[in-house]
Amino acid sequence: MCVRVEQHCILDVDKKEKKVKITVDGKEIEAYEGEPILAALLASGIKVNRYTVKKHEPRGLFCGIGQCSDCSMVVDGKANVRTCITPVKEGMVIMTQDGLK
Amino acid sequence: MALINTGYLEYEELSQIQKLPSDERYAKGPVAVIECVQEIPCNPCEAACRFGAIHIGDPITNLPTCSHDKCTGCGVCVSKCPGLAIFIVNKAYSENTATVAFPYEYMPTPEKGMEVTAVNRKGEEVCDAKVVNVMNPAAFDHTPVVTVEIPKEYADEVRSIKRL
Amino acid sequence: MLERDVLVVGAGPAGLAASIEAAKAGADVLLVDLNMKPGGQLFKQIHKFFGSSAHRSGTRGFDIGKMLLDEAEKAGVEIWLQSTVIGAFPGNLIAIEKGIDGGEKEVITLKSKKVIIATGASENVVRFKGWTTPGVMGAGAAQTMINVNHVKPGNKIVMVGSGNVGLIVSYQLMQAGCDVVALIEAAPKIGGYAVHAAKIRRAGVPIYTKHTVVEAIPGEDGTVCKVVIAEVDDKFQPIPGTEKEIEADTVTIGAGLKPATDMVKLEKCRLTFNGPFGGFIPLHNDKMETSKKGVYVAGDATGVEEANTALEEGRIAGISAVESLGLIEPKEAEKMRIEIWKRLEALRMGPFGERRQIEKNNILAEYEEKVVAAVEMD
């Protein structure tokens, strides 16, 4: 299942950014440098970014512009990083956030 | 108004709000049919027409009116209308067929000669159609205008094609 | 300490327009925004804008965004991205968490003579069973994914809400290659422009008025796999027995927007509640100045409208700020403002606009009554 937009009547959707590799929960995925981490994850079919503290419920993309915190993940050891407004860098290590406030 | 409950215009409703081309005008060839029926602040169609056929004036919430005698059916307004609400209908295309031109901003863009399925304002399939022209110059800013040939009796009904 | 003539918060259409006007008049302008790129929501607006052809209508939103960024650069506007205002203190001091290279943040205190708040709006939510399931998101969030990041949030979409956002985003999801399997509206009527509804109907999207989402059902992976909708009664309650199950992996909610007022609250500007404008908004006068002298507002943060009105209000705020700095003559400023208010009036006409014009007038009147009168009493 490819979820990138491959062709578009109005937008130029050919990615010109450098292809890089990032690690998500120990698995390597491809991403484009500078795109939001969240977008790279969605393009790889990953829709769950964190689990809530009390009820352990999954959360994912909700506002997409840094206003809510549903897409928070652990990025390079730092928790509560809003992945929708944080750009991808080569070699980033990302973890699903579980049980953190 | 059926439109605001359903999302599509009934032909009757349209003809009550917009002045449509007369049968005599239709007999002369392609002409613009404006399906803009609400007073919204918008007027690019007026500036788009170099024949001065479309009038809005002041205030910009006026409904556009088309002087069908000035209209040449060139189709520039079709690409300029932000609401994608203008169509070019040619009921004089041939003895038994008419053409309808409409904006089509989906991928892939149809190609001339393609056999496609024409749909009405509700998105229902109406008839088979043949793409006879695709205009997509830079000035249209990525709003291709596609012309399809259909049986004449569907000229007031067909307004797009099934997505390819 | 870092000093600037004008700080503008929010780099959407209102903030950019304000920055450009202020910088063109010779002010030292700093524009801050929390996002990775400036432009606010303009870059996800890929449709041709309505409005007056004298003012770039018929141009696609992202092209207007590019033009504004160009103008801002030429005018010498300094932009800090991934930066957030975190405090406002007496003496015109503003604390900013500034994004610096490498993803790190640094807190900087700025002394700014004037402040323009153009923080925009956030999406409203509709709550139903399963609304927090991954796959349920704001319509604007889905629009950001397809049009800015070029990633589809899912393949089969149920859109909730028939306002212009719901209608336009439905259309754009199809342009990106998604299928919109249903559009749900609780009211008996479609809320947005008929032409937007007409183009998604032509594309075969069923529109269910008088319907609501009852539940988003997750699959084994914890994300949405089915959506239950039902008809509603006159009190918007689901009618038992009318439920219908739709296969979908995404629910997008276009239930309107709410002005983002954190910053105006930080500045202790006086607020008023206004339903048609989306909630609490700052009182302001015809110079877009709030109850706090030297603090201006513009765009959706003053009441939810659209990009054209945001641009025009931003221009007024920018002009007024530099007028009070003595950079342009009051007469000249007043002349420009009158022109802009005229254009705003044209944008607030017709069945969709007149209510906003009435509310705007009410807000200006309330400012006179509560803010000006209070000052005179002091």
Region A4-21 average pLDDT: 94
A15 confidence band (pLDDT: 50, 70, 90) = confident
CA dihedral over C290, C293, C297, C301, signed as positive or negative: negative
Closest approach of C102 to chain B, Cα-based (Å):
37
pTM of the model: 0.95
Q: Which chains touch B (3 or more CB pairs under 8 A)?
A: A, C
pLDDT of residue A101 exceeding 80, the answer is no
Using a CB–CB cutoff of 8 Å, tell me whether A35 touches chain C. Answer: yes
CB contact under 8 A, C349 and B60: yes
Q: Which residues of A touch B107 (CB under 8 A)?
A: 7-9
- Chain segment B120-146, per-residue pLDDT in tens: 999 999 999 999 999 999 999 999 999
- Chain segment C47-77, per-residue pLDDT in tens: 999 988 877 889 999 999 999 999 999 999 9
The pLDDT value given to residue C76:
98
pLDDT of residue C87 exceeding 90, the answer is yes
Closest approach of C53 to chain B, Cα-based (Å):
5
- Chain segment B13-25, per-residue pLDDT in tens: 999 999 999 999 9
Of B87, B46, B53, B85, nearest to B67 by C-alpha is: B53
Using a CB–CB cutoff of 8 Å, tell me whether C53 touches chain A. Answer: no
> What residues contact residue C358 under an 8 Å CB cut-off, 6+ apart?
none
The pLDDT value given to residue C343:
94
Using a CB–CB cutoff of 8 Å, tell me whether C214 touches chain A. Answer: no
The pLDDT value given to residue C373:
84
Query: What is the residue type of C151?
Result: V
CB contact under 8 A, C103 and A86: yes
Of all residues in chain B, the one with the smallest CA distance to C207 is: B6
Region C23-33 average pLDDT: 98
What is the β-pairing status of strands B145-151 and C29-32?
unpaired
- Chain segment C313-347, per-residue pLDDT in tens: 999 999 999 999 999 999 999 999 999 999 999 99
**In percent, how much of chain C has pLDDT > 90?**
93
Q: Which of C101, C137, C157 to mutate to test the interface with A (most CBs of A within 10 A)?
A: C137
CB contact under 8 A, C221 and A8: no
Which of B108, B142, B144 is the closest to A7 by Cβ? Answer: B108
Q: Which residues pair with residue B42 across a beta bridge?
A: C51
Q: Which chains touch A (3 or more CB pairs under 8 A)?
A: B, C
Question: What dihedral do alpha carbons C125, C131, C132, C134 form, nearest 10°?
Answer: -110
Q: Are B124 and B67 in contact (CB under 8 A)?
A: no
Q: Which of A1, A5, A78 to mutate to test the interface with C (most CBs of C within 10 A)?
A: A5
The pLDDT value given to residue B19:
94
pLDDT of residue C143 exceeding 90, the answer is yes
The pLDDT value given to residue C324:
98
Q: Are B148 and A13 in contact (CB under 8 A)?
A: no
pLDDT of residue C377 exceeding 80, the answer is no
Which of C177, C189, C353 is the closest to B41 by Cβ? Answer: C353
Using a CB–CB cutoff of 8 Å, tell me whether A5 touches chain C. Answer: yes
SS (H, E, C) C162-193: CCHHHHHHHHHHHHCCCEEEEEEECCCCCCCC
Closest approach of A43 to chain B, Cα-based (Å):
20
The pLDDT value given to residue C378:
63
Token readout for A68 is 């809510």
Of all residues in chain A, the one with the smallest CA distance to B105 is: A9
Using a CB–CB cutoff of 8 Å, tell me whether A100 touches chain C. Answer: no
Q: Which of B9, B46, B84 to mutate to test the interface with C (most CBs of C within 10 A)?
A: B84
CB contact under 8 A, C141 and A65: yes
Token readout for C139 is 């319509």
CB contact under 8 A, B41 and C52: yes
B5 confidence band (pLDDT: 50, 70, 90) = confident
Q: Which residues of C touch A35 (CB under 8 A)?
A: 149
User: What are the structural domains of chain A?
Assistant: 19-98 (3.10.20.440)
Q: Which residues of B touch A9 (CB under 8 A)?
A: 105-107, 109, 142, 144
User: Dihedrals φ, ψ of C105, to 5°?
Assistant: -125, 150
Q: Which residues of B touch C352 (CB under 8 A)?
A: 38-40
Using a CB–CB cutoff of 8 Å, tell me whether C139 touches chain A. Answer: no
The pLDDT value given to residue C52:
86
Closest approach of A61 to chain C, Cα-based (Å):
6
Maximum C-alpha span of chain A: 45
The pLDDT value given to residue C27:
98
- Chain segment A46-94, per-residue pLDDT in tens: 999 999 999 999 999 999 988 889 999 999 999 999 999 999 999 999 9
H runs (alpha helix) in C231-367: 262-266, 307-324, 330-347, 350-367
Region C184-212 average pLDDT: 96
- Chain segment B82-123, per-residue pLDDT in tens: 999 999 999 999 999 999 999 999 999 999 999 999 999 999
**Which of the 8 DSSP states describes residue A58?**
E
CB contact under 8 A, B44 and C194: no
Q: Which chains touch C (3 or more CB pairs under 8 A)?
A: A, B
**3 state SS of B49:** coil
Instruction: Characterise C279 by phi-psi region: left (phi > 0), alpha (psi -120 to 50), beta (else).
Output: left
List Cα–Cα distances, A68 to A72, A81, C366, in angstroms. Answer: 9, 11, 32
Size of interface A-C (CB pairs under 8 A): 105
Token readout for B136 is 């997509």
Distance of alpha carbon B95 from the chain centroid: 21
Surface of A (2-21) touching B: CB under 8 A: 7-10
Q: Which residues of B touch A7 (CB under 8 A)?
A: 107-108
Region C161-172 average pLDDT: 97
Q: Are B122 and B8 in contact (CB under 8 A)?
A: yes
The pLDDT value given to residue B1:
62
List Cα–Cα distances, A70 to A66, A67, C307, in angstroms. Answer: 9, 9, 27
CB contact under 8 A, A7 and B106: no
Using a CB–CB cutoff of 8 Å, tell me whether B50 touches chain C. Answer: no
The C-alpha angle C315, C313, C137, rounded to 5 degrees, equals 120
> What residues contact residue A12 under an 8 Å CB cut-off, 6+ apart?
none
ω into B108 cis (within 30 of 0): yes
- To the nearest 10 degrees (0 to 180), the angle between helices C13-24 and C61-75 is 30
ipTM of the complex: 0.96
Region C206-223 average pLDDT: 97
List Cα–Cα distances, B164 to A1, B95, B128, B154, C177, in angstroms. Answer: 20, 28, 13, 21, 11
List Cα–Cα distances, A35 to A72, B26, C80, C241, in angstroms. Answer: 16, 52, 18, 45
By the 10 Å C-beta count (0-12 exposed, 13-18 middle, 19+ buried), C363 is classed as: buried
Share the mean pLDDT of chain C. 96
CB contact under 8 A, B39 and C349: yes
C104 confidence band (pLDDT: 50, 70, 90) = confident
Token readout for B98 is 């008419």
Ranges of beta strands (E only) in A11-96 are 19-24, 27-32, 50-51, 58-59, 72-75, 78-82, 93-95
Residue B132 parent element (H or E):
strand B125-135
**Which of the 8 DSSP states describes residue B107?**
S
CB contact under 8 A, B142 and A9: yes
Q: Which residues of B touch C162 (CB under 8 A)?
A: 7
Token readout for C305 is 């409208």
> What residues contact residue A80 under an 8 Å CB cut-off, 6+ apart?
A69, A72, A97, A100
Of C191, C335, C195, nearest to C276 by C-alpha is: C191
Q: Which of B33, B61, B117 to mutate to test the interface with C (most CBs of C within 10 A)?
A: B61
